[in-house]
Amino acid sequence: MLCGNFCSDIELGVKGMSVPTLCRIATTLSLSTDYILFGKQEKKEKLSVFKALSPMVESVAHSQLPYLESVLKAVISALNHKDDK
């Protein structure tokens, strides 16, 4: 477990962290280490998003999948429309 002071010290550059600690933070937050270090997401990041969504989709009852598909299409359409503005 990371305490607030430790995180603050890292952000301020007072302390560093080991690679294993960075990896644990990235895993816990479902972020890439590149995103944590540089604030950029890689194209590979989509794969990790799919991996995170997969258990959620698998938990939906088969009869509810058409509804889930409709909701996802609506959200993606709205996001794409927002980017066009």
Task: Report yes or no: 24 and 47 within 8 Å, Cβ to Cβ.
Answer: no
pLDDT of 34 > 70? The answer is yes
Distance CA 45, CA 48 (A): 5
pLDDT of 83 > 80? The answer is no
Task: Report yes or no: 48 and 32 within 8 Å, Cβ to Cβ.
Answer: yes
Distance CA 42, CA 20 (A): 20
pLDDT of 44 > 70? The answer is no
